[in-house]
Amino acid sequence: MTVEAMLDRVFVFLNRINNSFIDLAIVAGAIVLGLLLNWALRALIRRIFADRSHVVRELVRRAAMPMRMVAVLVALLIILPAVSLPTVWVNGIQRGMGIVLLLVIGWTLILLVNHFTTRAVDRYKTDDEENLTARKTITQLRVLRQTSFVVIVMLTGSSILLTFPAVRDFGSALFASAGVAGLVIGIAARPVLSNIFAGVQIALTQPIRIDDVVIVEGEWGWIEEITATYVVIRIWDWRRLVVPLTYFIENPFQNWTRDSTNVIGAVMWRVDYTAPIDAIRARLIDIVKDSPYWDGQVVNLQVTEVGDYVVELRGLMSARTSPRLWELRCEVREKLLTWLQNEHPHALPRARNSFEFRGETPAQEGRSLSAGARGDGRAENGPFDMTPPHQKDGQGDR
């Protein structure tokens, strides 16, 4: 090869690089121009609908990133046919455009689901603790929203992976050996899939709802949040108990507000046998009726147990919600105890001891003691035998 031929090839190579850089600069300029136009369009929409439509403003705000991605895609679609980039570069850009398009679709679906479910949830107010319909609807919307998010993310991620030839070949190999591969994939995805199905089942059957009062693992609290994989329970002392969704499908638990928020509670007392039961019952009814926590339904006093030394009483009372019931029980317990202390102190539990007299009665004891001492200097025993054990068998005379 002559020197002139080598110089020609170098010149051609440099010319191609120069043209490629120019084409890349044109592509970059088109992308920047598309982003500027997108910014101007969003600013115009915000200006037009600033005071007219809150929905449009909220959608534009949330869709800012997907709109930027769409602007980049449109710019590339317009400018790529007008430039002459190397085939390898064009293939890479087109693959990137496909990935961006899938991201835009997934992101848009998530935004739409989140927007419409949020608007639907905002229509229901849970200020009233007895609004079971609102809590039921809010629970269904939130659980289905979280489940939809998981499904959209999984489908989007799978679609992006399938754009790579190596992943497609791997997928074909898996389908070819679907027996073993399906078993492995099923075992690996079991926790995720079981929680998704459990979320759908909870949304449809409603074993729990937002703000339900439950007892789980011995802890009493409220359902604070239901996600796609777990449930957050706010315990009465402000701790949080995080439980998988499948727990509420596979394990028993207590739901105090399944059909109604009204609950019945009990207060127990142990009193003496001489306690006036009718007076205690009347006082309990007066205390409960005067309490702001009572719902006006149930109040009663029952004798539930008769022991050797005390009588067990149980007072029943009802309230609209479990927190109000707790306050009512504490109030009744305190006021009735104070009343017993002041009005019937003999009704409080007391311990009794009994003594058994042996031999002479107390009157005979007095006559025996007045008769004087024995000849050995020891007085006769009274009704209580006080003789030391070692003297009862005659050892004291030795």
Q: Could you tell me if residue 134 is inside a domain? A: no
Model confidence at 251: pLDDT above 80: yes
User: In which band, very low, low, confident or very high, does the pLDDT at 389 lie, cut at 50, 70 and 90?
Assistant: very low
Q: Are residues 327 and 305 part of one domain?
A: yes
The chain-wide mean pLDDT, for the chain, equals 76
Query: Rounded CA gap, 152 and 63, in Å?
Result: 17
> What radius of gyration do the chain's Cα atoms show?
43
Q: Could you tell me if residue 174 is inside a domain? A: yes
Q: Could you tell me if residue 362 is inside a domain? A: no
Model confidence at 381: pLDDT above 60: no
Query: Of 332, 347, 362, which residue constitutes the final position of a domain?
Result: 347
Q: What is the pLDDT of residue 356?
A: 65
Q: What is the mean pLDDT of residues 157-186?
A: 62
Q: Could you tell me if residue 160 is inside a domain? A: yes
Query: Of 331, 347, 363, which residue constitutes the final position of a domain?
Result: 347
Contacts of 152 (CB under 8 A, 6+ apart): 106, 109, 110, 113
Pick 87 or 173 by higher pLDDT: 87
pLDDT tens-digit readout, 133-144: 777 788 888 888
Using an 8 Å Cβ cutoff, are 342 and 334 in contact?
no
Q: Are residues 272 and 252 part of one domain?
A: no
Model confidence at 132: pLDDT above 80: no
Q: What is the pLDDT of residue 395?
A: 46
Percent of the chain with pLDDT over 90: 22
CATH number at residue 157: 2.30.30.60
Q: What is the pLDDT of residue 271?
A: 93
Query: Rounded CA gap, 76 and 99, in Å?
Result: 13
Classified as helix, coil or strand, 314 is: strand
Query: Rounded CA gap, 199 and 220, in Å?
Result: 22
Query: Of 123, 138, 163, which residue constitutes the final position of a domain?
Result: 123
Pick 86 or 280 by higher pLDDT: 280
**Most confident residue range from 116-120, 191-195, 238-242:** 238-242
Q: Are residues 113 and 8 part of one domain?
A: yes
Q: Are residues 254 and 284 part of one domain?
A: no
H or E element in which residue 352 lies: none
Q: Are residues 113 and 162 part of one domain?
A: no
Structural domain boundaries enclosing 221:
150-259
Provide φ and ψ at 316, rounded to 5°: -105, 140
Contacts of 313 (CB under 8 A, 6+ apart): 268, 269, 270, 271, 277, 280, 301, 302, 303, 304
Q: Are residues 244 and 173 part of one domain?
A: yes
Q: What is the pLDDT of residue 359?
A: 57
Q: What is the pLDDT of residue 126?
A: 60
Q: What is the pLDDT of residue 374?
A: 45
Q: Could you tell me if residue 241 is inside a domain? A: yes
Q: What is the pLDDT of residue 103?
A: 87
Q: Are residues 118 and 8 part of one domain?
A: yes
**Most confident residue range from 30-34, 40-44, 80-84, 205-209:** 205-209
Model confidence at 373: pLDDT above 80: no
Q: Are residues 271 and 233 part of one domain?
A: no
pLDDT tens-digit readout, 21-49: 776 777 778 778 878 887 888 787 777 76
Using an 8 Å Cβ cutoff, are 311 and 303 in contact?
yes
Q: Are residues 282 and 248 part of one domain?
A: no
CATH number at residue 291: 3.30.70.100
Model confidence at 292: pLDDT above 70: yes
Q: Are residues 298 and 203 part of one domain?
A: no
Model confidence at 175: pLDDT above 60: no
Q: Could you tell me if residue 363 is inside a domain? A: no
Model confidence at 372: pLDDT above 60: no
Query: Rounded CA gap, 336 and 155, in Å?
Result: 64
Q: Could you tell me if residue 268 is inside a domain? A: yes
H or E element in which residue 67 lies: helix 64-79
pLDDT tens-digit readout, 331-371: 999 999 999 999 999 999 887 776 665 655 555 555 544 44
Q: Are residues 53 and 107 part of one domain?
A: yes
321 DSSP assignment: S
- Which of 110, 41, 29, 112 has the alpha carbon at shortest distance from 70? 41
**Most confident residue range from 45-49, 196-200, 246-250, 275-279:** 275-279
Number of domains in the chain: 3
Q: What is the pLDDT of residue 182?
A: 52
**Most confident residue range from 5-9, 162-166, 243-247:** 243-247
Q: Could you tell me if residue 238 is inside a domain? A: yes
Q: Are residues 173 and 211 part of one domain?
A: yes
